[in-house]
Structure 1
Amino acid sequence: MTYESKTSPLPAASAAGFPPGSAEASAEKAAPAAKFDPRKRPRNLTDDQLLDLVQRQTFRYFWDFGHPVSGMSRERSNVAYDYGNEVVTTGGTGFGIMAIVVAADRKWITREQAATRIYKIVRFLEKADAFHGVFPHWMNGATGKVIKFGAKDDGGDIVETSFLMQGLICARQYFTADTPVERDLRNHILWMWENVEWNWQTQGGQNVLYWHWSPNNGWSMNHQIHGWNECLITYVLAASSPKYAIEKPVYDQGWAVGPEFKNGKEYYGIKLPLGPDLGGPLFFTHYSFLGLNPHGLKDQYADYWQQNQNHTLINYAYCVDNPKKYKGYGPNTWGLTASDSYKGYAAHNPKEDLGVISPTAALSAFPYTPEQSMRALKHFYYDLGDQIWGEYGFVDGFSEQHNWYAKSYLAIDQGPIVGMIENHRSGLLWKLFMSSPDVQRGLTKLGFESPQIIRK
């Protein structure tokens, strides 16, 4: 996919990031919001203060820049392709919901504000286009109508839906108070979760999940979901469904047979159990593991903590080795994953290295490589911040080699920064997601072990 970047003005928002409707936000309305100036960013912060600032600033992408009608997460901050300003993203909204839960827990917004925003999203989705309970990749944030992601991709996307449901399950486990808004939110999330026909995506009972189905094009995209990649959560949730679950053979014969599933080789002296050579883009270690806790998570194929940590360490070692001699690469500047680049959108990884560093790669890796990630964060913020720090956190990518610095932010890259830093700090999202009885049942069905699974 190639995105054409035509930067459009971002909506005015306060540097403090006060929630709309708060007394602070009302007071700010008396004067026009000043244009964000990265040169005025706070200095000499403690590590905790820096993490707070980065999480909170990045959260504003989902709070201040959320779609005004639906509350859903916009695909990106700039206009790309010709799809206009209304495009919201299903998976990115799931990541945004998790960011809102983090914000409530850290009291950047009130619990009621968070529950109300997520309830708004859920009620919008109940009226939006869905296909056997499966939502499309993109939709119009004002109308809920499908926006095509590709020529035939105008129906349900089970992977994007799994990212959404991961976030909604976290929200349902968090908002447990006996208040009208939290009770209603839990009920509506449950109905939506129960309504997803995961087994429909096996195309008539095959032992594999298919990524897409469309009422106009049927199964013609014919994209089977094999591992190893970002889609583990899709199989886990498909097995966890209360009404439309898949069985273990779908996992074993669909997911675990991909041509790049088993690896077992060493790179830079580090063994990689699963995945393509040198590991692939780092989002493989982020998207499924915002909710799934990889600590002690094992099945017959891998130890998923070892898998994710080693993948990250290989990515880090490659950037330090810097075989293409790109300017800037090193212990303080590392992290290859899918993001914008000077050539358009690219799935950056050691096998597709364009000299572009994506800040989300190292920052979302905090649970796996805390020391290396903190070094990168300090360098990104203190040394490169004039170029890459903005009103929604760090921009999507940069290349010192090509003197290129993105102006864009993407939901699927900003969300994991908030969520994975929080998992590093408190384990909040891991605790919430893994506490779901449905998730525990699905993991057990697929043969997973985890300290979080309660055996009955």
Structure 2
Amino acid sequence: MFRFACLIITLLLATAPVVNAQPADLTAEQDAFLDELSRRSFDFFWREANTHNGLIPDRAMADGSQGMDVSSIASVGYGLTAYVIGMERGWISRDQAYDRSLATLKFFRDEMEHVNGFYYHFVDMDTGERVWQCELSSIDTALLINGVLTVKAAFPGTELETVAQQLYDRVDWVWMMNGGETLTMGWKPETGFLKARWHDYNELMMLYLLGMGSQTHTLPPEAWHAWKRNRLVTYGGRTFLECPPLFTHQFSHAWFDFRDQRDDYADYWSNSVLATLAQQQFVADLASRFPRYGPDMWGLTAADGPDGYRVIGAPPAQGEIDGAVVPCAPAGSIPMAPDATIPALMKMKADYPRSFTTYGFVDAFNPHTDWYNQQVIGIDVGITLLMAENHRSGLVWKVFGKNPEVQRAMKLAGFRPLTDAEREHTSTVSIFTDQPLPPDQRNPKESRR
């Protein structure tokens, strides 16, 4: 009888949610909000996926009424990671997460068209065939592989781990360099390699780290040093590597844990913190033009607008800023600046209830014109879910970081802990340089050194 009771307890513990404690820095109301937002975001990946091949649509109607017939491989990378979150939260069982993930990985290994391990950006939801004559995408393959490595670490010693390793090992990162010092953005069978390269600070860090961590087609450490870190901006007393759309400061951080570390050049975590706070201030400073903007109503990044997909951001200003807000901009920075992001998201839901629906927030809305996008985009839902979970439990960082390839890459890139003096420095300046810093765009008469 005692042994039977112990068995029951063991089974209950094995199936119970693992991450259900309220973080100390969140109020009960905030944690409940993030839980609801996360569950709705998770539902997009779980409900909209093709259950036979694991493909996940690039976008869907926000109310869940209609899926789309085109998948984004980046959505799949976020979706695989979402399954681990859902499993740990108790929204799906471990068997469900395993079975869906394994089916997805086998389809990519055995049936999806690839060239040297890289996949086409957009594919047909049913067949996996290339659509729109799109490119073989290096960054979207990286987002996919991030998800592959997440489920690999979540299910050690299984067939899934073996298939995941096979997918990672066949990505030929060196081929994507095309003989240059930096990675190209992609390749097309009709025209060959794209001219554009990953050579300036943006969401590129995951690409180089995945390539350096590979044991089959390994990028040399010199590749990490080849991309430029010279586009600086100062706004409101904060100096950082600029890239106006906020997603560029978030995507690599969703999996790689850069907290309290630096390489030879910068503290990239602090860089994203400063970029987030600077954008919040920038948008608040536009309140004379757009009175509903403020420190609790902001968010600029790549997203849908009234006339289609567009790229907006700040600082410096990029694209047409027209009073709209993009919820995934603050959501993707939840762990970087919770006091700036969570109140804004809660206000969006409370004051503009039409912005919050079946799959969480619509992709964008304009509180000044009463325009609401009717769709959600997979990568925007994904960054919302992953960063909310990272703030609440650090789960994605912990699981993904178990991969020895990830640990190897961070070491080869030269990451090391911050000293107390460096930590104080990066509270306002994210880079380590003796060069004069750019003048403050918010206060042009001030110069910084």
TM more than 0.5? yes
The amino acid that maps onto 1:243 is T
| RMSD over aligned Cα atoms | 1.9
**Given that residues 124 and 131 in structure 2 are in contact (C-alpha distance below 8 angstroms), is that contact kept between their aligned partners in structure 1?**
yes
Are 1:248 and 2:221 counterparts?
A: yes
In the aligned structure 1, how far is the partner of 2:261 from the partner of 2:56? 30
- How far did residue 301 of structure 1 move? 1.6
Equivalent in the alignment of 1:193: 168
Q: What is the TM-score when the length of structure 1 is the normalising length? A: 0.81
Pairwise CA distance, 1:294: 2.0
Match of 1:443 in 2: 410
Give the one of 339, 344, 350 matched to 1:376: 344
Count of paired positions: 383
2:31 aligns with 48
How many angstroms does 1:45 deviate by? 7.2
Alignment of 1:40-79 (within 5 A): 46-78=29-61
Give secondary structure in 2 for the equivalent of 1:147: coil
1:234 equivalenced with 2:212 (yes/no): no
Provide the C-alpha distance between the structure 1 equivalents of 2:266 and 2:324, rounded to a whole number of angstroms: 30
Q: How does 1:391-406 map to 2 (within 5 A)?
A: 391-406=358-373
Inter-partner Cα distance in structure 2 for 1:324 and 1:122: 51
Instruction: Classify 1:305/1:131 alpha carbon distance in 2 versus 1 (closer, same or farther; 3 Å).
Output: same
Q: Indicate whether 1:164 and 2:138 are aligned.
A: no
Q: Whole-Å Cα distance in 2 between the matches of residues 200 and 424 of structure 1?
A: 36
Return the alpha-carbon distance in structure 1 between the equivalents of residues 125 and 261 of structure 2.
Answer: 36
Show CA shifts across 1:354-403 (max 9, x none): 32200111112110111121211211222211x11111111000012222
Instruction: State which of 311, 319, 327 in structure 2 corresponds to 1:359.
Output: 327
One-letter amino acid of the counterpart of residue 225, structure 2? D
Compute the displacement of 1:46 (Å): 2.0
Is the 1:67–1:88 Cα contact (8 Å) retained in structure 2? Answer: no
User: 1:225 aligned to 198, 206, 212, which one?
Assistant: 198
On the 8 A contact 2:287/2:293 being kept in 1, the answer is no
CA distance, structure 1, for counterparts of residue 413 and residue 166 of structure 2:
24
Cα displacement (A) at 1:433: 1.7
Structure 2: segments with no counterpart, 5+ residues: 1-26, 419-449
How far apart in 2 are the matches of 1:102 and 1:85?
24
1:136 paired to 2:120: yes
- What CA deviation, in whole Å up to 9, does each residue of 1:134-169 have, x standing for no partner? 11111112112111364xx3xx21110101111111
1:206 equivalent in alignment to 2:180: yes
SS of corresponding position for 1:266: strand
Taking the aligned partners of 1:54 and 1:312, their CA distance within structure 2 comes to 20
Amino acid at match of 2:70: V
Tell me, yes or no, if the aligned pair for 1:129 and 1:144 is still in contact at 8 Å: yes
Q: Does the 8 A contact of 1:422 with 1:428 survive in 2?
A: yes
* 2:122 is aligned with 1:148: no
Q: Percent identity?
A: 29
SS in 2 for 1:173: helix
- Aligned counterparts of 2:264 and 2:271: Cα–Cα separation in 1: 13
Partner of 1:243, secondary structure, is: coil
> Which residue is 2:286 aligned to?
322
Report the alpha carbon displacement of residue 449 of structure 1 after superposing the two structures with TM.
2.3
- Structure 1 counterpart of 2:350, one-letter code: Y
Q: Is 1:174 aligned with 2:161?
A: no
Q: Is the 8 A contact 1:357 1:399 kept in 2?
A: yes
Change over 3 Å in CA distance of 1:76–1:300 after alignment to 2:
same
Partner amino acid for 1:335? G
Q: Residue by residue, what CA displacement relative to the aligned partner does 1:84-103 show, whole Å, maximum 9, x if unpaired?
A: 93211111211111111111
Amino acid at match of 1:111: R
Of 407, 431, 439, the match for 2:374: 407
* SS at 1:365 equivalent: coil
Separation (CA, whole Å) in 2 of partners of 1:398 and 1:406 = 6
**CA pair 265-216 structure 1, distance change in 2 beyond 3 A:** closer
Structure 1 CA distance for aligned equivalents of residues 195 and 233 of structure 2: 30
Cα deviation for residue 114 of structure 1 reads: 0.7
How many Å separate the matches in 2 of 1:104 and 1:409? Answer: 23
Contact 2:50–2:56, Cα closer than 8 Å, also in 1: yes
Pair 1:186–1:158, CA change in 2 (3 A): same
| Aligned 8 A contact 1:327 1:400 in 2 | no
Deviations 1:216-236, CA, capped at 9 Å, x for gaps: 3212x2121112111110111
Q: Report deviation, 1:321.
A: 1.1
Aligned equivalent of 2:264, options 287, 300, 303:
300
Residue 424 of structure 1 corresponds to 391
In structure 2, C-alpha distance between the alignment counterparts of 1:169 and 1:263, rounded to whole Å: 31
Partner secondary structure for residue 416 of structure 2: coil
* Cα deviation, residue 267, structure 1: 0.5
- For the Cα contact (< 8 Å) 2:42–2:86, is it kept in 1? yes
Residue type of the partner of 1:291? W
What is the aligned counterpart of 1:108 among 91, 104, 111?
91
